[in-house]
Amino acid sequence: MQRRTQTPKYWGEDFQLVDADIEHLYNVLLEREIPLSADEMALVLVRYRVDQEEQQIQLRGRSGDQFRLRREYDTGDEIAFPQLHDESGVVVAVREGQNPQYGKFGVITVEVDSGRMHEFACGLDIDHPLNVEDETPEDEGLLSPEELFIEYGGNVAATLEERFEEHGDLVRLAGRWFPRSLLAEINIGHLNLAEAVLDMNDGGPLSTPDLLGAIGMLDDINSRLAEFSMNYGLQEDPRFDEVGPAGQVMWYLVRMEPEEVRMTPPRLVYDLLPEDPNLLDNEMRELELAIRDEHTDIVLKRAPAPESVTITLTYPHKRAGTLPLSHELRRMFPTAYRAPRIRFTLVDDESGEELPAWVVRQGGYVYGLEAWFERYDIPVGGYITVERTDTAGYVRIKYTKRSPRKDWVLTGVVDGDRLRFENQQWSIGCDYDDLMVIVVPDEEAVEARWQETRKRKIPLSTIMTTIGRELAALNPQKNIHAKTLYSAVNLILRSPPGPIFSHLVALPEFEPIGGHYWRLKDIKS
């Protein structure tokens, strides 16, 4: 007979939290007086459940303690019930049963440990599973609570997180939980001093221990409790922003954060455009995902963070000095738990220089690359690779350097009030996507066309048709690749590939000719 806590089913599909679990964990927090993470409390709970089962086994092992249908019971008797997940209870009432088929028998009312009432028949010496003696579970080959936690602790921790969200007196910061009632008092004086310290340090980031050390307060309580209490006080004050990468709590003054971090740069603002994903076949959908636009809707699957991600630079991000926070980069960047803005460090692979940067999760971008783009003259369509490092809060960035050479590439020029495209020779010193590369000699002129497009609210269909004619005129076959159209449209209208690809399929002016190439029907080759 195997212990239930030794089975995957117990910790998986059957696992549910009961009030006794929450009460036990809450008491542990009260006794230890230090914040605990969901994983730490999951291990506590695994140990608690294993110990509970062991106590029930010992209880059943004592003669007469386990419920048997044949036995007769009196008020006050204590009984163990394996069929009720090893709960035990006390008989609180006894009465006679009524069923001619069985003759004389009794009915007991039992109050079990959870407080619920159950009624059971008793005094029935019949052939029934509840009259069969159970085997005692074997003790050999048992997994320890720590080993069980390694196997199943993830599910337990996730379930705890959900339940703790509903608990009024539990507060969380940086993935750790603690009773609100036991927090040390953080008053306005503490917070004003913290603001002054951050102000003298260019707004941050500073860790909580550094802040506490500079303030010189809360020295008379447990250091972890002081840190957690200060964190909670800062979190509740709108002057402060928690910007640390995963595993670190770092604070910054909101008023001293770059404007492009507090508010999405205008060039990246996406005003929702109509699209119909059902129009896209699998090949078009794969192309959409391969572009790695931050606004491409995707259902994330559980997967390890990639070691590196290569992004193709688009005009809006080049202009804003940002990278798109694609679904892959979201897993790779050192983002902390639910923090909307993360301050981290980019390491330039070419020079080794460390560059301050920000992950802005809500806006879907990584900010802080404008000078880096200019230093290496990365064009629209250029490949940029982001790699993980062994140091928390640090990410490496690089491009594929090559000897500069003149290539014929797509060039966006403004002629009066019209955006035109030409093939011109430009010296480029890095690898790029042939289908997305665009050189923009006069960015200010393009910005004026972008502003006019927004002001007049020119429809995407009109922009696509106009730009499509420009692009088709540049090659003898009059073909337009979907990626090229996406890159060109984004010079004057922010749009992810989904709406553009949906319009390609839906608009009667465009017809597919294979390989993601399209043609305008009124243009003959």
Could you read off the pLDDT of 359-372 as tens digits, one per residue? 998 899 999 999 99
Residue with structure tokens 């599973």? 129
pTM of the model: 0.73
pLDDT (tens digit, 9 = 90+) per residue, 86-112?
678 899 999 998 888 888 899 999 998
pLDDT at 503: 95
pLDDT at residue number 340: 84
- Name the band, by pLDDT with cuts 50, 70 and 90, for residue 468: very high
Asked if residue 334 lies in contact with residue 244, where contact means CB atoms within 8 angstroms, the answer is: no
Going by pLDDT thresholds of 50, 70 and 90, the confidence category of residue 284 is very high
Q: How many CB atoms lie within 10 A of CB 385?
A: 14
| Residue 198 predicted with pLDDT over 60 | yes
Mean pLDDT of 159-163: 88
Model confidence at 300: pLDDT above 70: no
Mean pLDDT of all residues in 228-251: 88
- Do the Cβ atoms of 311 and 378 come closer than 8 Å? no
Q: What is the mean pLDDT of residues 207-215?
A: 90
pLDDT for the residue 357: 94
| Average pLDDT score over residue span 377-388 | 95
pLDDT value at residue 63: 43
Mean pLDDT over all residues of the chain?
88
Parallel, antiparallel or unpaired: strands 206-207 and 78-81: unpaired
Dist. CA 260–CA 317, nearest whole Å: 12
pLDDT at position 498, please?
Answer: 95
Residue 336 is predicted with a pLDDT of 45
Indicate the residue type of 375: R
Share of the chain above pLDDT 90, in %: 53
Provide the pLDDT for residue 493: 96
Taking a C-beta distance cutoff of 8 angstroms, is the pair 155, 11 a contact? yes
Q: What is the pLDDT of residue 420?
A: 94
Phi-psi region of 216 (alpha: psi -120 to 50; beta: other; left: phi over 0): left
Q: Which of 519, 499, 497 is nearest to 509 (CA)?
A: 519
Residue 475 has pLDDT above 80, yes or no: yes
In 138-278, at which residue ranges do the beta strands (DSSP E only) sit? 170-173, 176-179, 206-207, 240-242, 250-253
| pLDDT score for 261 | 95
In this predicted structure, the answer to whether residue 225 has a pLDDT above a threshold of 50 is: yes
Concatenated DSSP letters of 267-326: GG--------GGG--HHHHHHHHHHT-TT--------PPPSEEEEE--HHHHHHTEEE--
Q: DSSP states of 58-72 as a string? A: HHHHSTT-B--TT--
Handedness of CA 446, 385, 496, 503 (dihedral sign): positive
pLDDT at 332 (0 to 100):
78
pLDDT above 50 for 181: yes
The whole-number pLDDT of residue 79 equals 86
Joined tokens for residue 406? 């003149």
